Amino acid sequence: MNRSKQKVSKRYFLFFRRIGFLFVLGLIHTFYAPPGINDVLTVYAVLGLFMAMFFKLNKWSNFIVTMMLIALSIITAFCQPYYGERIEWLTILSDLSKWFSLMMLGFTMGQFKFFENIYGKLKYVSMFLLVIICTYVILLFVRTSIDITPGGFENLEDYIVSSMMFSILIIILQWDRAKVLLSPIKFYGQMSLTNYLAQSALLIVFSYIISIVPINSLIMCFIIHAVLIAFSTVWLKFYNMGPVELILRCFTYWSIVPNQKMKKPFVAS
C-alpha cells in the first residue's frame, strides 16, 4: 500500500515539475515572441494544474466532464450580445472552457485507448466524419437563415472543423503513399515544443528581411515551416528527441537522458 502511494505521489510530482518547466518556458517565450503572438504554454501549464483533479476519475466520468466543458464554451459564446461590446467574463469563461475541454479531450481519448489500433476504427471514423459534415452543412444553412452570435458560431465551427480535419487525416493515412508524403510532418510533430519556440525566433529574423504584408506573411509562413520541417527531419536522424524536449525530459526526471541514436552495427553479408 505504501509503495502504491509512493508511486502515485511520484507521478503527481513529476507531472507538476513538468508543468512548472513549461510555464517557465512560456514566460521566456512571452518576452521574445513578436507582437500579436500570444503564448499558449503558460495557459497550458496553468490549466494543466487542474487536470490533476481528473487523473483518478474513470474514462466515462472524464468523458462527461469533457462534453460539459464543450457545451459550456459554446453556450457562453452564444450568450454574448450580437451587437455592441462583448461581456468580458463570458469571453474569459468561454475561452478557458474551450481550451480546457481540448486538453480533457486528449486525456480522455487516451483513457479510452482510442489511438491504439486507430486504423482498425476506420468504419467508425468514417461514420463520425459523415455526421460532422452533415452537421456543418446544417449549421451553415441555419446561420444564413437567422442571426447567430458570431462568437458562438466560431466556437462551434472550431470544434466541427478540427474534428473534420482529424477524421480526414486518419482516413488519408490508410494509404501508404500518403504516409510517405506526410512523414516529414511526423518529425515536425515529434519536435513540436522545439518548433513552437523556434518559429517565433524565425519570425523575428524573417520580419527584418521581408516586409510584413498579407502575401509576404503567407510566404514567410511557408518558409518558416519548411525550414523547421527540414530541421526536424535531419535532427531526428541523429537524435531521439528535439533539444527542448530533451531539456524538458531531463528536468522532469531530474536525470541525464541519453539522446543520441545508437548506430546500427554493420553486418557483412
- pTM, whole model, 2 decimals? 0.80
Task: Note the pLDDT of residue 1.
Answer: 35
DSSP alpha helix (H) spans, the chain = 2-32, 41-51, 59-78, 88-111, 122-145, 150-172, 176-190, 192-209, 214-238, 243-253
Task: Note the pLDDT of residue 222.
Answer: 85
Give, for all 269 residues of the chain, the pLDDT tens digit: 334 445 556 788 889 999 999 999 999 999 988 877 788 999 999 999 898 889 889 999 999 999 999 999 989 988 887 777 888 888 889 999 999 999 999 999 999 888 887 777 788 888 999 999 998 888 888 877 776 666 678 888 889 989 999 888 888 888 888 888 888 888 999 999 999 999 998 888 877 776 655 556 777 888 888 999 999 999 999 999 999 999 999 999 888 888 888 766 545 44
Tell me the three cell numbers of residue 242.
528535439
Cα torsion angle, 179, 183, 187, 189, sign: negative
DSSP character string of 195-255: HHHHHHHHHHHHHHHS---HHHHHHHHHHHHHHHHHHHHHHHHHBSS-HHHHHHHHHHHTS
The set of residues, in sequence order, having a beta carbon less than 8 Å from that of 253 and lying 6+ positions away, is 14
Domains of the chain: which residue ranges?
180-262
Buried b (16+ CB within 10 A) or exposed e, 21-45: bbbebbeebeeebeeeeebebbbbb
The set of residues, in sequence order, having a beta carbon less than 8 Å from that of 110 and lying 6+ positions away, is none
170 vs 159: CA distance, rounded Å: 17
Using alpha carbons, select from 56, 49, 40, 44 the residue that is nearest to residue 16: 49
Using alpha carbons, select from 26, 187, 19 the residue that is nearest to residue 103: 19
| Cell 518576452, located at residue | 31
8-state DSSP, 269: -
